[in-house]
Structure 1
Amino acid sequence: MPLIVTTGYQSVAGVRSRNEDFVGMVTPGEPELSSKGMILAVADGVSGSEGGREAAEYVVRGLLTDYYATPDTWEVTTALEKVVVAMNSWVQQQGSVRRELAGMATTLTTLVLRGRMYYSAHVGDTRCYLLRNGNLQKLTQDHVWDRPEMQHVLTRAIGLDSHLVIDHGMGELRAGDVFLLASDGVWAAISEYDLNDFLQQVSAQSLSPDLACTGLCEAAMKAGSQDNCSALVVRVNELPEGDLRDAITELHVLPVPPRMKPGQTLDGYVIDEVMHTSQTTLLYRVTDPVHHRKLVLKTLHPDRATDAQERSAFAHEAWLAKRVVARFFPQVITPEQRNYLYYLSTWHAGDSLQRRLDAGQHFTVPEAVVCGGKLVRAVGALHRRSILHRDIKPANVHLGDDDEIRILDLGVAQSGFDSKDSSPASNFNLAGTPSFLAPEQFQGEPPSRATDIYATGVTLYYLLTRHYPYGEVEPFQRPKFGEPVTPGRYRPDLPHWLENVLLKAVARDPQDRFETAEEFLLALERGAAHPLPAPSIKPLAQRDPLSLWRALAVISIVANLLLVYLLIAR
């Protein structure tokens, strides 16, 4: 589903003979809508020079055209910065070569809506407002002198100075958001209460954006506005699916919070405890005092604050976590405001399977089968969303007090694996825990559904036996895989049908494993009623052809040496 908005605008001269404001927007179709988004702008030519109108019109028209000519690989803020700075140079040049345009300048406020994000760029005293959930926010700051008698004198404008400083803003879009871009002829004449009233009606869809703009300009003129009046209103009706690029852009600009202690607060959330610390991330349990609930807050370790690759990987993880909406995963919570790099998810009482095992908990066969069925369902839910977890293990499987299994930690997960993946995690085939990595991954093969199924099988094998089917693998080790140890050797009470299911899941050859998580689940649910056949032992030529040829070579050498010896002995 694409981004769908409703827009409207109005620009009138008012009591003046000439309208020096200029309003414009571009609402493109695909693929530009997804790659560049839609752009809206309001400019107010600086009065006192003949070139005010020309500057406003040129800057808006040039911005709307040149923005779409910038490379798709540029960030939105980068594209806006380069285009507006170029416009500033042109306006200054025109003012210097044409005497009648000397001193030409204009304010500019522009808004880009792309994916699930908005971006603003601003110079001067035109304004951008956002109405969200009934609250009106001013997203821009006026660049005017702060002395009362000089509040209409600009300190920044396009064309005013060769060195232009642009204010940039960005944030997450939400359905129902209403934006207003307005010149000072509108906002200076009427109160924020009146602005809020018009935008509330647009939000409730009782007033169209077009009629709201007309009403705002008329209200400003009735209130005695002596300036040109321009307004542009846009209502966000529907949002597209979250875009990874936008998620990375958003989190790249946020600062990493310092290491927190229990009792401290971050964006209003109270830190209860440090749940986990690694070299790259920190995990806190926090309290949301507004909604009276416990949440989990995950952020980057402060030592990795300047690591661009770690920031991208963290943004990718947060994006994936938001996509997996199902009971098998903690659900991401969107904060009302986010001033630091982190994401929130639901907290659930219970513990990971690893911690339960470390605490001495013993899982009976029926308990393990139930847990296994839920875990396989969760893995299947990931695969249906084109996500590979790549690190399924007992430490990343949570068993809640509500008996629900939830998969944790998408830090090395890979998305879009049916096509060429561009996620940060896709560059590391051996990401994950060595003892749970499938044999083919040590040969350089990329991760796949089969490798996740293998890790799931090893997790269930370990849950029942506390051993690994091929022995423990140390980091940086390149193991050789023979035949897996049957789990009944460690756990004699295991039924044969369950042994066969586990051995198929952890088969060395990917073609001998379950093709899908659904097939794995079916085998667990059928159990003894429709048992799988025991895996057959393959001939050495199929299991390890290299070893076979080596053995034949050794035999051949020995035989030749023996023949040479016999010939010499004669």
Structure 2
Amino acid sequence: MPSQLKVSVGQHSDKGRKSINQDFYGVYSPKEPLLTSKGIAIALADGISSSAVSQFASQAAVTGFLEDYFCTSEAWSVRKSAQRVVMATNSWLHSQTRQSQYRYDKDKGYVCTFSAMVIKSTTAHIFHVGDARIYQLHGNALEQLTTDHRFWVSQDKSHLSRALGIDQQVEIDYQALPLQTDDIFVCATDGVYEYVKAEFIIKTIQQNANDLDKAAQVIVDEAFQQGSIDNLTVQIIRVDELPSHDVTEIYQQLTELTFPPPLEARMDFDGYKIIRQVHASSRSHVYLALDVETSTQVIIKTPSIDLRGDPAYLERFLMEEWIARRINSAHVLKPCWQTRKRHYLYIVTEFIDGQTLSQWMTDNPRPELETVRGIVEQIAKGLRAFHRLEMLHQDLRPNNIMIDSTGTLKIIDFGSTRVAGIMEITTPIEQHDLLGTAQYTAPEYFLGESGTTRSDLFSLGVITYQMLTGKLPYGAEVAKASTKVAQNRLIYHSVLDDRHEIPAWVDDAIRKALQPNPYKRYQELSEFIFDLRHPNQVFLTKTRPPLMERNPLVFWKSVSLILAAIVVALLIKPVG
């Protein structure tokens, strides 16, 4: 059986010589599937002594993080999930201070330091604000991984320069470290690390390897004995096992369900009655079927017969349903939830009574500009649903967009979708970014670069261009341009011609969306959509007609004035 992520944690905290303990700490290790998709979270917060309510801030920061982090989308990366939660906590703490009697004195408000570690797959993700510390044990040395956010007024006096709750916005330090089995991390507040030597910490951990709680307590007791006047908290984390899969094991997991038999019309299949085949390709077979239990028409998608021995293909196939269940948009294909036991490997989605955008373009070779705008806006809404979850569709093309009988567009086929949260999970199965259709694929993919939201924007720009012209902006040249030099030579051909009444500023908007260099494109889909409807002043200035065309009278008056000035200058020129 493949190994799961497993860590051992030892923790201890004491108020020390203070009347109350303003430190707070915790760890949460979930069961599957969250263990794989979100990892294990460890958090530590330290209140400030000048505040009488700082302990409430510490508790809120730690408990909020350990609860809310696991409620964020499984599609999000660890960094995005954790930073969203910490920033929300910071805003809440700041607002609590603003609403309290301490609103004019930040040092007495709801303020605390915060350090956290999320261990997911084979990577440790570290988040840090303040002056608690996270160390990594290397042999007989402790390496400090975090930076103390303190401002030193003098050699003996300093104060926090960064902490949760001080301001409405907070900057969070982040780093990611690769892990190995038996890696050890130590989290400690300043009441401990300022009084205990690194040698003592290392020796204590080594002597109490089977009881890390005891090791933490011994370290805290040592800090107290050495005269610490602050609260005392230590967390020790040891990586016992890391997930290790080989391709054979993963293939067995992916194929636990039986591959379906060849499906034909009128066949009964797992509670469905097959009506007809809709589509067949080298990647999948698609059928229209009737759910016998609910009497609703659905689409059943089965794996390609030729690729059933390819683990990477099977992984992407199963990911399609996972992705569909996490996106809630009227412009993205919906999955059908099954209450019956499934006996075969397949995907069930809603049936869209309509046609592909590709067929629509064939039927409407010269659409009105307003119609094109409406279609592009709907596609963009669907894409934004992907992007909000840190997903890239990566295969946006007319055949992967359906238009139903009401005129609603839906993005379909998620076999090429890249999910940030899933990409963080280590797998021996080789992953490829270049999965889309070459004519609609962004140029950066052909350079071997990873895609961004601007890559999906490029594909949308190609579709926009094609609807207006019936052609592709660069033909087949993008796929041939495998260097930046070659891509810089790509020539954009304007959508403007005698057959269409299209404003020049619309052409400029499309041109910007189709820039070969992703950094020259729009940063956001919304910017492109806005510029398709509203003249961008930058484009207007650039395409402004010459003065002779805008105002011939002023032009000729200006020319006459310049000529008159030249004549006068020549007349008064002294004769040598």
TM-score between both structures, scaled by the size of structure 1:
0.48
TM-score between both structures, scaled by the size of structure 2:
0.48
Which structure would you say has the larger RCO, counting Cα contacts within 8 Å and 6 or more residues apart? 2
